[in-house]
Amino acid sequence: MPIKLTKSVQGAWLLHHDQKLLNAKTTEFESIVAAGRSSRLLSVISRELENTVSKERVDELARGIGVRRIEANGFLAELQNHGLIDVSSAGVAVLGVSQASLLDHASDIFETQSPSGADRAVLALSEIASGSPVRRSDCEEELSDEYRLSRAEIDDVFSQSEHIGFIDYEANGHDRLYFNGSLFKRDSAAKSKLILENLSDEEKQKLLQVESMLNGRGCLLAEEIRQLLGEKLWSKLHQIGFFEVSAVVNEKGVTEFATKPEALVKYIPGGLADMLDDAKALASSLTYGIIKSPDYRGRIKDPSVLINVLIGRGYVEGRAAAIKQDYQVLERRGVVQVTTTDRGNRLTLLKSEIGEMAKDLILRGDASATAAEFVASGMASNFIGPESSRVTERKKDVPEAKSAALRSLNILRKSK
C-alpha cells in the first residue's frame, strides 16, 4: 500500500533531507533544497524579536544555517511569493508565521516547485524505513509504481539516498536493508526487522494497545508497559531499542518511564543526544508529578496549565517539596534551576526548547516535529558539545544520477 505523507510529516522530512544535502556535493533534489532551506531561513527570521529584521542581519542569520547571501535572496523571494514575508528597504518582516506552522509551509513550498517522482520517492523511502527496517526488494516496486519511476530512476533513488545519507543501510549485495539510524541501531537493524515481523497476533495486539497509549501520553511508567506486554515481549522490544527508558530519582527511590524513540528523534540527525536526553528527562519528571506524586508533595493536577506557565513565564513556584526533589538530574544538566523564594520553591526553566519538546511529548505524545523545527532553525547548535567534532560529516561526493546525466545531455543537444 503506497505511503501517504501528511503535510507536517512531509515538511519534517524536507528539513531533514535539506540538512543532509548541505553536506553533499550534488545539484540534485532542487525542490527539496528550495523548500527546506527557505523554510529554515523563515524559521530563524521569525524567531527574531524585532518586527522587521534588517537585510544585513538576515544575511548573517542565513550564514548561520549554511546559506550564502546570493542564495538567501532567492529563498526570500520564494517566501515572499508565498505571502510569508514582506521584503522592503527597511528589511524583512514575517507575516503572522508561527513555528508551529513551519513544517506545513515547507510542504506547501515543495508542492509549488514541480517536484519530480524521485524527490517524492526519497521522502517516502525515509518514512517507510522509519516504521521498521525494510529491504530494497520489499519496497522497490511500490516506490517505482507510485512515483512512476523508470528502472534507472529507481536505482538513482536508492543509490543517492545511501550516498547523501537520507537513510541508513546495511550492505548486503543489491538487496540492502534500509533503516532509520536514529531509531534502529546498525548492529541490530536486521534483528529488529526479524523481531517486528515475527510477532504473534497476540503480541501485535498488545503492542498496538501500548502504542495507542504512548501516542496519547508520550511518556508512561515502564512498569505499566512491562505488565501490559508481559516480560517476554517487553524483553524482545527493549533489546532492539523499541522503547527508551528514563528514570526519576528522588526520596521515593527510582521510578522508570518509557517513551518511543520516534516521538523525539525520527527526523533528527545525529549529534543531538544531550538535547533529546534532556527532553526525555524533563518529560519523565513532569509525568512523575502527574501520575505518581501524592498531593502533599505537589501532585500536578492540570499538566497543560503548569507546562504552559513554565514555558511562557519561565518558572513555577510554590510550597511543593517535589520542586526540590524531582528535578535534580535536570539541575545538574543545566536545564532548570531550583531556588528558594518567599513563596516557597521556584523551578526556573533555563532551556525553553527542552520545555517545548517535553510539553509536546506529554500533551500530544509526539515531540518529533518540534525537535525538527529547533534543528531547522539552527538552535540545536547550542546543545552540541564535545561530540560535535566526532559527528561532523565531511562533504560527500555523490555519484551523478544516470537519469540526470541523460537529461542534461538532452537539454544541451537540443540547444544546438
DSSP secondary structure string for all residues of 106-124: HHHHHHTT---HHHHHHHH
Q: Average pLDDT of 169-182? A: 85
pLDDT band at 49 (very low <50, low <70, confident <90, very high): confident
Coil, strand, or helix at residue 251? Answer: coil
Q: Average pLDDT of 24-30? A: 90
Q: Average pLDDT of 189-195? A: 86
Q: How far, in Å, CA of 20 to CA of 31, rounded?
A: 14
What would the grid cell of residue 283 be?
518529560
The amino acid present at 244, given as its one-letter code, is E
pLDDT band at 378 (very low <50, low <70, confident <90, very high): low
Q: How far, in Å, CA of 273 to CA of 173, rounded?
A: 32
- Comparison of pLDDT for 397 and 166, the residue scoring more: 166
The amino acid present at 242, given as its one-letter code, is F
Q: How far, in Å, CA of 139 to CA of 179, rounded?
A: 12
pLDDT of residue 7: 92
Q: Which of 216-220, 365-369, 392-396 shows the lowest per-residue confidence on average (mean pLDDT)?
A: 392-396
Nearest 5 degrees, angle CA 162-CA 167-CA 169?
Answer: 65
Coil, strand, or helix at residue 68? Answer: coil
What would the grid cell of residue 320 be?
511543593
Q: Which of 5-9, 125-129, 292-296 shows the lowest per-residue confidence on average (mean pLDDT)?
A: 292-296
Helix (H) or strand (E) holding 322: helix 322-325
Q: How far, in Å, CA of 373 to CA of 314, rounded?
A: 20
- Comparison of pLDDT for 292 and 72, the residue scoring more: 72
pLDDT at 413 over 80: no
pLDDT of residue 301: 85
Task: Specify the DSSP class assigned to residue 148.
Answer: T
CA 53 to chain centre: 27
Coil, strand, or helix at residue 210? Answer: helix
Would you say 278 and 288 are in contact if contact means Cβ atoms under 8 Å apart? no
In 14-121 the beta strands, taken as DSSP E runs, fall at: 24-25, 52-53, 85-88, 91-94
- pTM attached to this predicted model: 0.78
Q: Which of 1-10, 377-386, 397-406, 407-416 shows the lowest per-residue confidence on average (mean pLDDT)?
A: 377-386
Q: What residues does 247 pair with on adjacent strands? A: 256
pLDDT of residue 385: 36
pLDDT band at 399 (very low <50, low <70, confident <90, very high): low
pLDDT of residue 194: 87
Q: How far, in Å, CA of 345 to CA of 341, rounded?
A: 6
Coil, strand, or helix at residue 53? Answer: strand
pLDDT of residue 397: 62
Q: How far, in Å, CA of 193 to CA of 94, rounded?
A: 45
320-361 residue pLDDT tens: 888 888 898 888 888 899 998 888 899 999 988 889 999 998
Burial of 392 (0-12, 13-18, 19+ CB in 10 A): exposed
Q: Which residue has the cell 516547485?
A: 113
260-315 residue pLDDT tens: 888 888 887 655 667 788 888 899 998 988 888 888 887 888 888 999 999 999 99
> What is the sign, positive or negative, of the torsion defined by CA atoms of 224, 229, 234, 237?
negative
pLDDT of residue 380: 46
